[in-house]
Structure 1
């Protein structure tokens, strides 16, 4: 078996600093203590600290200015949706807010797809639906289901919907295994999603919007129940 990568000192330090920032120990807009002080506090050299800072700058949590220092960035005011996977890793509470966006955007995407899908796109959607029903195992069904939603976004003809769909799926990645419950039964997953695709294929915008809303609400409930059960098992094992 391939050996799992080990955490480096930079990895550990980045994680500690990130958790401190997201937990509010270093508020938005505040300056971090001087590098020498932080290096002494964590027992690392300044080169290691600079590498960790560089990663946090890249992720949008810090900003540095030569001769001024390192400031905590106001990511809620200045950040983008690319921060969501990191925020979900820090706190699964973000999932509820992601699901709220998922419901509204997903229903709108289905409605737009019903109005704009081409014959080729409808054929693709039906082929992808077959793949959902034929998939083996929860993870494979989950991934096949995701491809249907990506195809629905493409069928709108609006590339921003495609990027938003990708962003929401990326946000699930840190807790994806705990959200697999709706996909354990491939046939049930297929039948749950099929009304959305059929309404899109029929060009019925209202039916597509309603079907998508029902699908998204049902899967959200199942996923949140699975996530809660996963937390209970984890807490019980500690």
Structure 2
């Protein structure tokens, strides 16, 4: 068994501030109250507050201007996809939008992989697909399935597709345990994904796109049922 992480006061304060920002208590573009006022309001020291500020600045939610104060960034206008895991953790409503991008990008990646994959990459895809069917439990099946999609992205020859794939999977992390529905049966999971790999091996671009769309739509439906 894995030990549960212990929250520090900085962890708790970071979570409170993040929620207050994302729910609009501290609106985008607004300046936070002075540090002493804010620290007193949350019942923490200014040192603890500074540590929490540092994390939220790194996450892209805050920015500090020397001599002016700390302002809430407009993350929807200025933020990047690296914010997605935090946003999904804040509100599962985001996962529907992640899935929409997953469908469109995933189908395009499969099409490009069919057109560009090398013989070595096709062999790798087949081996990774076999690993999906041989995985021992739902968690292992899910992780093996992810590796197939990473390999599809690499087979496009476009590193941006690889980074987008990583970003989308990172967005799932906060709710991954609730998304295991399509992966409870290893043989079924492999069979669902196999038409995508088959089409890529044949170099059938249109077929790979169709197979990916069918796969992504089917697994999305099952995963959303798990979330509900």
State if a TM-score over 0.5 links the two structures.
Answer: yes
Structure 1 ranges of 4+ moved more than 6 A = none
Kindly tell me the number of residue pairs found equivalent between the two proteins: 228
What is the CA-CA distance between 1:181 and the residue it aligns to? 0.4
1:202 aligns with 2:173: no
- The equivalences for 1:1-238 within 5 A come to 3-228=3-228
User: In 1, Cα distance between the equivalents of 2:39 and 2:75?
Assistant: 24
Alignment deviations for residues 95-151 of structure 1 (CA, whole Å, 9 cap, x no partner): 000000000000000000000000000000000000000001000000000000000
Deviation at 1:30, TM superposition (A): 0.4
Distance 1:189 1:2 in 2: 27
Per-residue deviation, 1:5: 3.2
Q: Deviations over 1:26-58 (max 9, x none)?
A: 111000011111011111111111111111001
**SS of residue matched to 2:6:** coil
Q: Secondary structure at the match of 1:200?
A: helix
CA 1:202 to 1:2, structure 2 compared with 1: closer, same or farther past 3 Å?
closer
Structure-1 separation of matches of 2:111 and 2:205: 5
| In structure 2, distance between residues paired with 1:24 and 1:200 | 46
Q: TM-score, normalised by structure 1?
A: 0.94
SS class of match (2:63):
strand
**TM-score normalised by L of structure 2:** 0.98
1:232 corresponds to: none
